[in-house]
Amino acid sequence: MKRLPLVSISILLTVLVAAIAARPVATQQSTGGAATASKIVAAANAFLGMLDTAERAKAAYPFDSPQKTNWSNLPSGAYQRNSLRLGDLTPPKQAAVMAVVAAALSAEGYRKVTDIMNADEVLKESRGGQTGARAGAPARGGRGAAFGKEEYYIAILGTPSNTSPWMIQFGGHHLAINVTIAGNDNVLTPSLPAAQPARYTLNGQTIRPLGKENDKAFALMATLNAEQRKQAILNYRVSDLVLGPLQDGKTIQPEGILATALNANQQSMLIDLAKEWVGILNDEGAAARLAEIRSNLPRTYFAWSGATENGGIAYFRIQGPTVVIEYAPQQNDLDHIHTIYRDPTNDYGARLVSK
């Protein structure tokens, strides 16, 4: 009779130890900042608290709502986002929206977002201030595409919380930011930062929303020797994103050069390049995601198609177990860039939520 508890306890301990040992390594790595999580929750609650009933109906969704995948690179008018439009809000409420975005992102990430929005304002102005895509089309709500800073939308999925998962979705033309927060950890995937124009002048300054992405990629290519280039460069044209909007849950067979065929400096440059996307997220979340990417470098590929001299047009892709990044100039136009950032294991926080 006395042996029964001893046997049970020892077996239970064995089970516990084995179960812990069997957990995927990646799930043990994700740590985040409680302070950051609280800051994001506070900003989201402050924003939601300012809304009237009609606005709240457009802004707030259940966490598992189909709204989660309702994002696009397309401008409003051309794509129905359903969520709450910046242009329909008072300036204080617009500021509250941007405060939510700022709380969820890094300073550099927030700058990138506003640079992309300002680019769309430039695009709108270049059309003489008109928003309709076709002559005679209505500016909004009809067939016409609408451009400009007012044409960005926000949705909060789930209840802002330090414990239960929830999500911030912000985007419009050439921008989709999807931040899923679960406890102290958070992810940015899938997200789509893009730009048109990719270079413009604002207040006397030249702005390139995705300039560092371009320059760091060409700088990395410049360090590759002939044998490495042979492995990295695809011998075919890639005219668009392969895993853009509507391609959730898909993993393509990787191509290009394996990161283990790069030297230490090149590997650092590859990580630094990936950081241009990963680092849009707040510092704590980005650090956890970068640690995962670093640990998976032996299974990470870098592929390139197009010109190898900066100033030329090139597509590139970084693909590893927890990252897919694509950079795709549209129709041979250096002034129109689409990119995507995904985590095959963690889009919409799938891995965080399943914990």
Partner 1 sequence: MKSARLSSAALLVAIFATTGSAHRLDEYLQATRIAVEKDRIDLEIDLTPGAAVADRIVGAIDRDRNGEISLTEKEMYAATLLASLTLKVDSETRRLKISDLVFPSIDEMHRGEGVLRLRTTASIGRAKAGAHRLTFANAHWPDIGAYLVNALVPTDERVHITGQSRDHLQREFTLEYNVSTGRASVPLASVLPVLLSLTLAATLYAVARRLP
Contact call for residue 186 and partner 1 (CB under 8 A):
no
156: left (phi over 0), alpha (psi -120 to 50) or beta: beta
Q: How far is the CB of 37 from partner 1 (least distance, A)?
A: 28
Query: Helices 34-49 & 283-295, crossing angle to 10 degrees?
Result: 130
The only residue of 107, 260, 268, 335 in contact with partner 1, by rule CB under 8 A: 335
Tokens describing residue 300: 């990470």
Contact call for residue 264 and partner 1 (CB under 8 A):
no
Q: How far is the CB of 36 from partner 1 (least distance, A)?
A: 30
3-state SS, residue 202: strand
Continuous H helices in 131-210: none
The only residue of 28, 135, 203, 226 in contact with partner 1, by rule CB under 8 A: 135
Contacts by 222-225 with C-beta closer than 8 Å and gap 24+? 222/308, 222/310, 223/265, 223/266, 223/269, 224/257, 224/262, 224/266
Contact call for residue 330 and partner 1 (CB under 8 A):
yes
CB neighbours of residue 21 within 10 Å: 7
- HEC profile for 259-297? HHHCCHHHHHHHHHHHHHHHCCECHHHHHHHHHHHHHCH
Q: How far is the CB of 157 from partner 1 (least distance, A)?
A: 25
Torsion of CA 341, 71, 212, 290, to 10 degrees: -30
Q: Which is nearer to partner 1, 75 or 109 (CB)?
A: 75
224 within 8 A of 232, measured Cβ to Cβ: yes
Binding mask 54-93 for partner 1 (x = CB under 8 A): -------------------xxx--xx--------------
Give the single-character DSSP code of 75: P
Contact call for residue 204 and partner 1 (CB under 8 A):
no
The only residue of 18, 53, 204, 264 in contact with partner 1, by rule CB under 8 A: 18
296 within 8 A of 322, measured Cβ to Cβ: yes
Contact call for residue 24 and partner 1 (CB under 8 A):
yes
Q: How far is the CB of 303 from partner 1 (least distance, A)?
A: 11
The only residue of 129, 237, 264, 309 in contact with partner 1, by rule CB under 8 A: 237
Q: How far is the CB of 202 from partner 1 (least distance, A)?
A: 17
147 within 8 A of 195, measured Cβ to Cβ: no
Query: Judged by CB under 8 A, how many residues of this single chain contact partner 1?
Result: 48
Binding mask 270-299 for partner 1 (x = CB under 8 A): ------------------------------
Report the interface residues with partner 1, using CB under 8 A. Answer: 1, 3-4, 7-8, 11-12, 14-15, 18-19, 22-24, 73-75, 78-79, 123, 126-127, 133-135, 143, 145, 173-174, 196-197, 235-240, 242, 246, 250-253, 255, 330-331, 335-336
